[in-house]
């Protein structure tokens, strides 16, 4: 099973892993796109690739000489085998790597026909929550005053995500905040497959006037228990994911790799 992990950060290795997320790559491609060496001789490129990735357990060299993520080299899991960690965070603002912090986080695991809330907790951001955010989410300074800091729940968060596919509605936002907090509090980098239900919806349900979570909830008849609260939004995103996976299966998707290809295909290139 492939899934999310957290590991010590390394800039060149991270760049190599990002490239390999798109598929296997030759040593020459790694030299150009990761190391910035467009004129490296083949033998030099191969030695550099081996030095960079040879000891990394997440990567292997295939029989054709290309480097690939272990899961991609060994075959992608079937969708029914995948556990999806559907994440939603509420925050003090939009700047994950600046002064803004998480005020609430929820993780809902979708696996087969099961949908379970495995984490739902308020977080003390260590700074005031702006009034406009309080109005939007209903989360106030008083509510988080006695809540744990992210440092206190970081291990719980990583345990909830470990070995699962990270999913969120506008995943860049949630991944950015969770990744920044894990880096800040544990000096670890998140790594692994992630899916955005906005991107999937644009590809699988084209022509909608809006791809906001509320609009898609109306489109699919999904009911919120609490809008703009982490657990409520994560539950609806989990239900939306189930609908989108069903649409993907109708188009022939069977494995996580099939979904990842669909996920990164430009909208105009998706066949009806």
- Give the Cα-Cα-Cα angle 108, 70, 175 (nearest 5 degrees): 35
Structural domain total, the chain:
2
What digits encode the pLDDT tens for the residues 167-185?
999 999 999 999 999 999 9
The residues annotated as belonging to the active site are 228
Same domain? 206 vs 118: yes
In whole angstroms, how far apart are CA 76 and each of 81, 108, 168, 199? 10, 23, 21, 21
Confidence of residue 100 (pLDDT cuts 50, 70, 90): very high
| CATH number of the domain that residue 37 is part of | 1.10.10
Chosen domain end from 51, 74, 97: 74
If one compares 113 and 233, the residue with the highest pLDDT of the two is 233
Same domain? 11 vs 87: no
Chosen domain end from 28, 53, 74: 74
> Which residue range(s) make up the domain with 216?
79-269
- The confidence score (pLDDT) of residue 268 equals 64
| CATH number of the domain that residue 115 is part of | 3.30.420.10
Chosen domain end from 57, 74, 91: 74
CB neighbours of residue 183 within 10 Å: 15
Same domain? 85 vs 209: yes
Same domain? 115 vs 208: yes
What digits encode the pLDDT tens for the residues 136-145?
999 999 999 9
Q: Can you give the C-alpha Rg of the chain in angstroms?
A: 20
In whole angstroms, how far apart are CA 224 and each of 96, 140, 149, 208? 26, 21, 27, 20
Q: Is the pLDDT of residue 1 over 50?
A: no
Assigned token pair, 163: 């070995």
Same domain? 247 vs 135: yes
Same domain? 134 vs 84: yes
What digits encode the pLDDT tens for the residues 11-48?
788 889 889 988 899 999 999 999 999 999 999 999 99
The region, left, alpha or beta by phi > 0 then psi within -120 to 50, assigned to residue 232 is alpha
Q: Note the pTM of the prediction, 2 decimals.
A: 0.76
Same domain? 18 vs 143: no
Give the whole-angstrom CA distance, residue 1 versus residue 158. 17
Give the whole-angstrom CA distance, residue 217 versus residue 57. 40
Beta partners for residue 116, in sequence order = 109
Beta partners for residue 194, in sequence order = 166
Burial readout 188-203 (b: 16 or more C-beta within 10 A, e: otherwise):
bbbbbbbbbbbbbbeb
Q: How far is CA 131 from the centre of its chain?
A: 29
Average pLDDT over residues 50-63: 84
Same domain? 137 vs 43: no
Same domain? 192 vs 119: yes
Same domain? 186 vs 114: yes
Find the Cα–Cα–Cα–Cα dihedral 160, 8, 96, 201, rounded to 10°: -60
Same domain? 149 vs 228: yes
- The pLDDT mean for the chain works out to 91
Same domain? 116 vs 135: yes
DSSP conformational letter for 263: H
């Amino acid at each position: 099973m492939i899934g999310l992990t957290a590991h010590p950060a390394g800039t060149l290795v991270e760049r190599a892993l990002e490239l390999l997320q798109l598929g296997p790559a030759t040593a020459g491609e790694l030299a150009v796109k990761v190391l910035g060496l467009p004129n490296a001789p083949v033998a030099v490129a191969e030695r550099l690739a081996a030095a960079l990735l040879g000891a990394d357990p997440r990567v292997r060299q295939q029989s054709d000489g290309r480097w690939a993520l272990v899961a991609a080299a060994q075959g992608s899991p079937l969708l029914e085998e995948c556990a999806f960690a559907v994440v939603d965070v509420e925050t003090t603002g939009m700047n994950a790597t600046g002064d803004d912090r998480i005020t609430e986080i929820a993780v809902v695991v979708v696996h087969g026909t099961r949908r379970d809330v495995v984490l739902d907790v308020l977080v003390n951001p260590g700074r005031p929550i702006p009034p406009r955010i309080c109005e939007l989410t209903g989360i106030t300074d008083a509510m988080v005053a006695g809540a744990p800091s992210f440092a206190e729940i970081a291990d719980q968060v990583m345990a909830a995500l470990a070995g699962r596919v990270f999913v969120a509605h506008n995943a860049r936002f949630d991944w950015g905040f969770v990744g920044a907090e894990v880096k800040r509090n544990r000096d670890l980098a998140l790594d692994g497959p992630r899916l955005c239900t906005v991107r999937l919806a644009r590809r699988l349900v084209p022509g909608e006037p809006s791809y906001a979570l509320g609009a898609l909830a109306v489109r699919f008849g999904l009911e919120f228990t609490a809008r703009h609260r982490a657990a409520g939004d994560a539950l609806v995103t989990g239900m939306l994911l189930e609908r989108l996976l069903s649409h993907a299966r109708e188009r022939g998707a069977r494995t996580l790799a099939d979904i990842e290809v669909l996920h990164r295909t430009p909208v105009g290139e998706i066949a009806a």
